[in-house]
Amino acid sequence: MKSNKSLHTILPSKYPIIQAPMFGVTTPEMVAAANRANCLGSLALGDLNADKCIEQIRKTKELTDQAFIANIFVHQLPEVNHDLIEHYNTTKLYIEQLAKEHHLDVKIPEFEEIKLNSYHEQIDAIIAENCKIVSFTFGNLDDDSIHKLKANDILTIGTCTSLEEALLLEKSGIDILNIQGWEAGGHRGSFKDHDIPKIGGLALLNTIKEHVQNPLIYSGGVTNARIISAVKKMGADGFQIGSLLLNSEESALHEFEKNKLSSIKEDDIVLTKSFSGRYARGIKNTFIEKVEQSNYILPYPYQNKLTNELRKVAKLNKNSEFTSNWIGQSIPKLSRESTTTILNNLINEIETFD
């Protein structure tokens, strides 16, 4: 497989293949394994505080001497008011009771115990640790952050799910656009958390390619050489691989979660806000079915913080009915091999296909 010329002089990896930053799945070991396949690893930092970000970055650097992407969430925080606090309290009681009915002993923190982190602190940590590539989702960086990153020669990759979002990213000076199709697994990268764009990947790629000059990374359903060949012909410069690596040796998923992923069908996969307050694509389960049709969903990140303890307890109890199990609409054959092996096999398949 030949390296793509439009990204070859920008990205440090031999191949224009990016291991997706899947928060809760990606580990420093996965990032290093992706780098060993001459692809570009992505460290999922989500909304971790600065100290946790530094800890994860340093652990990754111990495992690889190659550059990798640091990925963060850049969501806007909702206004704290009486209604939000009341909604939190009623949702807390509902979820604790729901967990109890299913033999899970969960104690969710009180509203005032919730600690929220700013992505500005993450950016300072990333700069201090001399990371050279930052990707982000859930919106765009503010101008000061963009200028700060550029001043430190840090490459920026923004996620878009519509042409409007792509144009905003390009206009603000973001270097590379990551196009996320509707079929992608995990959280939607949309700038807003309601009335989100519902555009299929190929349609979105085709439209954005006609209107922007930035290099384009395609993500969503990228599981084999046929798909990569098709989106490459349509103008994609790079390809982000996520679901294909869920059951890899380096994945943070527990054994019971990997087993669950290996037996799903098309109609098991849904889009839901129930776990985090933002739309994400994954496997339907009891929690989603109960909460999705209720009024017990808070805006991100409060819903995410509220369900965090539930997910921890469910994992300890090996109960996949109360954990978030993200995967894309295109269900690949999931391998238990190393991320390095999985990506090497994909590259070999691409070279044979080409």
Q: What does the pLDDT look like over 132-157, one tens digit per residue? A: 999 999 999 999 999 999 999 999 99
Q: Give the model confidence (pLDDT) of 38-62 as tens digits.
A: 999 999 999 999 999 999 999 999 9
Three-point CA angle 228, 252, 13, nearest 5°: 40
Q: What is the DSSP letter of 40?
A: B
Kindly report the CATH number assigned to the domain that includes residue 215.
3.20.20.70
Whether 259 maps to a domain, the answer reads no
Phi/psi for 159 (5° steps) reads -95, 135
Our count of domains for the chain comes to: 2
What sign for the dihedral angle of Cα 105, 112, 78, 49? negative
72 in the same domain as 58: yes
Alpha-helical regions (H) of the chain: 5-8, 28-36, 50-63, 82-101, 119-128, 143-151, 163-171, 201-211, 225-233, 255-261, 286-292, 302-316, 339-353
Whether 30 maps to a domain, the answer reads yes
Mean pLDDT of 238-243: 97
3-state secondary structure at position 228: helix
Q: Give the model confidence (pLDDT) of 69-123 as tens digits.
A: 999 999 988 999 999 999 999 999 999 999 999 999 999 999 999 999 889 999 9
- Banded pLDDT at 7 (limits 50, 70, 90): confident
Whether 255 maps to a domain, the answer reads no
Three-point CA angle 24, 12, 56, nearest 5°: 30
Whether 10 maps to a domain, the answer reads yes
Q: What is the DSSP string of 80-117?
A: P-HHHHHHHHHHHHHHHHHHHHTT----PPPGGG----
304 in the same domain as 213: no
Mean pLDDT of 207-234: 96
86 in the same domain as 66: no
171 in the same domain as 274: no
174 in the same domain as 229: yes
142 in the same domain as 228: yes
| Cβ neighbours of residue 77 closer than 8 Å, sequence gap 6 or more | 116, 301
Question: Quick one: the chain helix, strand, coil %, rounded to 5?
Answer: 45, 15, 45
pTM value is: 0.96
312 in the same domain as 221: no
66 in the same domain as 36: yes
51 in the same domain as 107: no
101 in the same domain as 227: no
Range of the domain at 162: 5-77+116-248+334-353
Whether 193 maps to a domain, the answer reads yes
- Banded pLDDT at 2 (limits 50, 70, 90): very low
193 in the same domain as 44: yes
130 in the same domain as 278: no
Neighbours of 110 (CB within 10 A): 11
Q: Shortest CA distance to 220 belongs to which of 180, 188, 187?
A: 180
